[in-house]
Amino acid sequence: MLPCLRLGAIALILLAGCGEKMKDAGSVADRFVDRYYVESDQASAMALTSGVASLRLRDELKLADEGRGGGALRDLRQVRVYYKRGSMEGKGDASNVVYRLDIRPQGGGSLSRDARLELVRLADGTWRVSRFSETNP
């Protein structure tokens, strides 16, 4: 019985820690960039979104699933993405963050893009990415 209590306590501590990370706009933005751009994991990034950003990720996941069905995505080239947070502005329940992405495809070359994230604070005090886009610097 004692090991179960320990596991329960550990789970509560981890959940509390996750909630605290969601209460900082910069932390949420960084985690989103890691999951979406660096790890190419739309499903994991979904937990950090709301509104239009969630709709975009749902559409991307649907397209990816359809593409995998025909085997079309199996030959995609590996890409490494590095980023640096630029400006972060906002007040109240809204914040905007810009990241410089350095995209390096396997086989050479390099691309630069700016990722612009809009975040909103929800009623529970946690932050979510509500919109995001990429532009040429």
When mean pLDDT is compared across 8-12, 97-101, 113-117, the lowest value belongs to 8-12
State pLDDT tens for residues 47-62: 999 999 999 999 999 9
Between residues 25 and 74, the one the model is more confident about: 25
What predicted TM-score, i.e. pTM, was given to this entire model?
0.79
* 87 pLDDT more than 80: yes
Q: How many CB atoms neighbour CB 95 within 10 A?
A: 21
Q: What is the pLDDT of residue 129?
A: 98
Domain 24-135 in CATH 3.10.450.230? The answer is yes
